[in-house]
Amino acid sequence: MDADKVFRALGDPTRRKVLDLLCAENGQTLGQLCEQLAMARQSATQHIGILEEANLISTVRRGREKLHYINPVPLHDIYERWVRKFETQRLTLLHDLKQQLEREPE
């Protein structure tokens, strides 16, 4: 995984919206995405290209159509590498605080 490419792709609100759209309805064409993004095909194609380069989406040809699908694996890798360890620490601190408060007399 190239984390820099993933973070770069996620750094743009339009690309995050593309991921949200694909999460809601996977397998959309460029035309369908453009309608929901209210932008020209050329602009949407550039955003999709960056998402593809980061391996956040993949495409499948179906006849003349090209369908776009979200790939959650790089997001999961980011979660495991950058979020989970902080989440675990925070939850441990909250658990310890709860235990301490429950032990203290009223």
> What is the pLDDT, as a whole number, of residue 92?
82
> What is the pLDDT, as a whole number, of residue 93?
81
CATH topology of domain 3-103: Arc Repressor Mutant, subunit A (1.10.10)
pLDDT along the chain (106 residues), means of 10: 90 96 95 92 95 96 94 91 79 83 75
> What is the pLDDT, as a whole number, of residue 37?
93
Note whether 55 and 74 are within 8 A (CB): yes
Q: Where are the domains of the chain?
A: 3-103
> What is the pLDDT, as a whole number, of residue 106?
57
d(CA 106, CA 104): 6
